[in-house]
Amino acid sequence: GDSLRVQQLFRDIEDEEAWIREKEPIAGSNNRGRDLIGVQNLIKKHQAVLSEISNHEPRVNAVCENGTALSENGQFLSEEVFSRVGKLKEHWIALKEKSEKRKQDLDDALLAHQYFADANEAESWMREKEPLVLSTDVGKDE
């Protein structure tokens, strides 16, 4: 009856909480990469994490909907069910927010690394041309 369904729900919630805990350090990482290639690799890895989160969302939603239905229908532990579903939703939203912030941070790091790479290239070009500009032979007829 209800008690078996609630026990199953609590196991499902714990599974989802464990999944979220596993993804949190990756989604909330502060590693920005040391250089352009490093940040590009991190962006690729993070895109995979975002896909995993997106693909997992229906599962979390199903567990939450099941919990909401159980807490509305029965009296058996309905407050506990409501509370645990609420916490799961909070943790899920926090994971999504962390992963979105990480995406933004990596995009910003990419722009910065790209800027520095372009600036270094321009500086090298100028250094290359400097001897020509400083040359005293220019324009003299012999």
Cβ(68)–Cβ(85) below 8 Å: yes
Give the pLDDT of residue 135.
78
- Which residue is listed with tokens 């990482």? 29
pLDDT tens digits in sequence order for the chain, 142 residues long: 778 989 999 999 999 999 999 999 999 999 999 999 999 999 999 999 999 999 999 999 999 999 999 888 876 788 899 999 999 999 999 999 999 999 999 999 999 999 988 888 889 899 998 888 887 765 666 5
Domain boundaries, the chain: 2-134
Residues present in the chain in total: 142
Taken in order 61, 67, 70, 72, the sign of the CA dihedral is: negative
Q: Note the Cα 46 to chain centre separation in Å.
A: 6
Give the pLDDT of residue 118.
87
Give the pLDDT of residue 13.
97
Looking at the structure, give the CATH architecture of the domain made up of residues 2-134: Up-down Bundle (1.20)
* Structural tokens at position 121: 């290239």
Give the pLDDT of residue 141.
61
Q: CA separation (Å) from 50 to 3, 10, 76, 91, 93?
A: 35, 26, 36, 16, 13
Residues in Cβ contact with 138 at an 8 Å cutoff, skipping those fewer than 6 apart: 132
Burial degree of 13 (CB within 10 A; 0-12, 13-18, 19+): buried
